[in-house]
Amino acid sequence: MNDDRVFQLLAEINPVPDPDGLDSPIALADTEEMRGAMATIERTEREQTHAARSEGTSRKRGLAIASAAAAVVLIVGAGLWAFTGSSDTELASTPAGLATTYLDARNNNDPEAALAVLSSNAAFDEVPIIADIDDLGPRFEWMSIRGIRLDHTCTETAPGTVSEVRCTYEGVERLNTALGQPPLAGSFVFRINDGQIISVRHIFPIEVYSPNVFDVFVQWLDAEHPGAFDTIYRVEDDAAIGLTTPEALDLMDGYLEEFEASRG
């Protein structure tokens, strides 16, 4: 069976082939509940906007509006839908919660979620290198292709106006897994001020990783695809930095797949 036929077959196992057959949504504008809920949202937004201006807590405002909007959808769903999140919201606003959000976003290739907890001039000392906040999206994509996933635990180690959070992790990535190496282990140190992460420092045992994992991959790459290194890396201060152009990402993905296959 060729690739196209397999893809056609995929449509046949669509668990919801006919969305139009789902329950009819209530016509929002025609319901008393919707009008009432909209009025509640508008009132909430006005109040929260005022509070945000006077207290500088725009983040809380957004969350309150989100909760109110969830309430609308709850009503629309005629009580069938439940929206939770208050406890998560409270947790996420703590320094450890903000650090956790950043690392979760890193795991999930979700730069938007990371940007929501980062100061606009946050400083990075990250491995792999993130020079500034504009690099976040492409670098997260690069990490996603590398299959980097960190199982992390964050603790606030120094409370204060500028608090410090340390997160330790064990993690996997495709090269490391292909070579049967033990999980990666390292830590992050975050500095947090006024509900935003102002710096990210990644402490990673590169002296262990490089000879046991990265160098092995590079040797394989040089042998199998001479010259390919320069299409996916640039060297800066003796460090190899993965390129993040769409072409380089696609090449990297292909080489990784081949490397994995070569390792059985």
Our CB check for other proteins shows the closer of 67 and 193 to be 67
The only residue of 48, 72, 117, 165 in contact with other proteins, by rule CB under 8 A: 72
Backbone angles phi, psi at 193, to 5 degrees: -140, 130
Cα→Cα distances 260→45, 135, 171, 209, Å = 52, 27, 18, 17
The only residue of 83, 214, 229, 233 in contact with other proteins, by rule CB under 8 A: 83
The only residue of 40, 58, 94, 113 in contact with other proteins, by rule CB under 8 A: 113
Residue given tokens 């016509």 in the structure block: 27
Burial 107-143 (b: 16+ CB within 10 A, else e): bebbbebbbbbbbeebebebebebeebebbbbbbebb
Report the candidate in 121, 117, 1 with the shortest Cα–Cα distance to residue 62.
Answer: 117
Under the criterion CB under 8 A, does residue 3 sit at the interface with other proteins?
yes
Give residues with Cβ within 8 angstroms of 217, minimum separation 6.
175, 259
Peptide bond just before 128 cis, omega within 30 deg: yes
The only residue of 123, 133, 137, 218 in contact with other proteins, by rule CB under 8 A: 137
Under the criterion CB under 8 A, does residue 33 sit at the interface with other proteins?
no
Under the criterion CB under 8 A, does residue 172 sit at the interface with other proteins?
no
Under the criterion CB under 8 A, does residue 223 sit at the interface with other proteins?
no
Under the criterion CB under 8 A, does residue 134 sit at the interface with other proteins?
no
The only residue of 32, 80, 161, 226 in contact with other proteins, by rule CB under 8 A: 80
Residues that bind other proteins (CB under 8 A): 1-4, 6-7, 9-16, 19-20, 22, 25, 27-29, 34, 38-39, 41-42, 45, 62, 65-67, 69-70, 72-74, 76-77, 80-85, 88, 104, 107-110, 112-113, 137, 141, 144-145, 147, 246, 250, 253-254, 257
